[in-house]
Amino acid sequence: MNDPHSVLTDVQLGELIDLIKKIHGFDFSSYSKASLKRRVLRIIQNKKLQFYDLKHIIVNDQQFFQVFLDEITVNVTEMFRDPSFYKALNNQVIPYVSTYQHIKVWSAGCSSGEEVYSLAILLNDAGLRKKSFIYGTDINSEMLKEARKGIYNLKKIKSYAENYQFSGLKGSLTDHFTIMYDAATVHSELKHNTLFSVHNLVSDGVFNEFQLISCRNVFIYFESELQEKILELFYNSLAPLGFLCMGSKETIRSDKFKKKFKPINIKENIYQKIVS
């Protein structure tokens, strides 16, 4: 990572943010700067660019912009990341939502779909597949294409299999996939009740009403004020007594929303919407 020739000043990062907003419509101005800066520097180093070149191609090369977007929006995700979270979901949330006629779930910032299919497997296991529907959204349309396919490298699936074992679900992760050579395709019945579409948490609004919203390890990329704005969006998108799941190291810091969400599981960061 350390190349003395590539530095990026705060002013340059600001210029880049303005440029991207103007040309491509994505607003990164309230993203956490340390992480964003590191991502941009990585591109500059990997592609051996000067800052001036980077600005030039961001303006003129749509194809490159997609590569850029893939790099700066972190798309690292796992199936059953934090197995103890899925255990808590199974024990504390599923019994509650299973009484509903329909269970609508929103996985916000779903990247290549791993969390959506983890939730689909969990709901299927609980016998709730037919009455549940999972919406996966992300800012990055290319990632959503991957998510829709539901095809994952077998190596990756093997690394997710350990998570699955710890989650307490029965059988093994590969039970839910058809494996051919080095690719694992998620079973088609798990895909039936999913829908992937573009949604930008920074700029887009409420689009449905949900019993469960999962947005884990997305807030970490946002500054505190933006986090609060998105909490508002989630609050307005949840049915009364609906559940909000955040990443285990994320925190509701705003006093306003501390009063609007009741903690159900503090360690796993699961909340329930309070209706006042």
Partner 1 sequence: MSLNKNIIERWQNSDVLLLGGSAGSFSTIFRIIRNFDVDLNKSVIIVIHRKKNFFSEIEKLFSENTRISLREIRDKEIIQDNTIYIAPANYHTLIEKEKCFGLDVSESVWYSKPSIDVTFESAAEVYNERCTAILFSGANQDGADGLLSLRECGALTIAQNPLDAEMPQMPTAAINIDAAEYILRTDEIFELLQYN
The smaller minimum CB distance to partner 1, of residues 11 and 205, is found at 11
Give the count of beta carbons closer than 10 Å to the beta carbon of residue 29: 15
- Tell which residue, 185, 79, 83, 208, has the closest CA to residue 134: 208
Cβ(239)–Cβ(266) below 8 Å: no
Q: How far apart are CA 197 and CA 199, in angstroms?
A: 6
List the 151-153 sheet strands across, edge first. 151-153, 183-186, 177-180
DSSP for 237-253 reads HEEEEEEEEE-TT----
The smaller minimum CB distance to partner 1, of residues 209 and 223, is found at 223
Q: How far apart are CA 171 and CA 155, in angstroms?
A: 19
> Binding segment for partner 1 among 14-22, 90-98, 159-167, 170-178 (CB under 8 A)?
159-167
Q: How far apart are CA 212 and CA 134, in angstroms?
A: 9
> Binding segment for partner 1 among 49-57, 69-77, 139-147, 234-242 (CB under 8 A)?
69-77
| Tokens (6 digits) for 90 | 């199974």
Binding flag, residue 109, partner 1 (CB under 8 A): no
What is the contact mask toward partner 1 in residues 162 to 181, using x (rule: CB under 8 A)? xx--x---------------
> Binding segment for partner 1 among 59-67, 133-141, 184-192, 217-225 (CB under 8 A)?
217-225
Q: Which of 113, 150, 242, 247 binds partner 1 (CB under 8 A)?
A: 247
Binding flag, residue 220, partner 1 (CB under 8 A): yes
The smaller minimum CB distance to partner 1, of residues 166 and 207, is found at 166
The smaller minimum CB distance to partner 1, of residues 111 and 211, is found at 111
Question: Where do contacts with partner 1 occur on this chain (CB under 8 A)?
Answer: 1-2, 4, 10, 32-35, 38-39, 74, 76-77, 81-83, 162-163, 166, 217, 219-221, 223-224, 227, 247, 249-251, 253
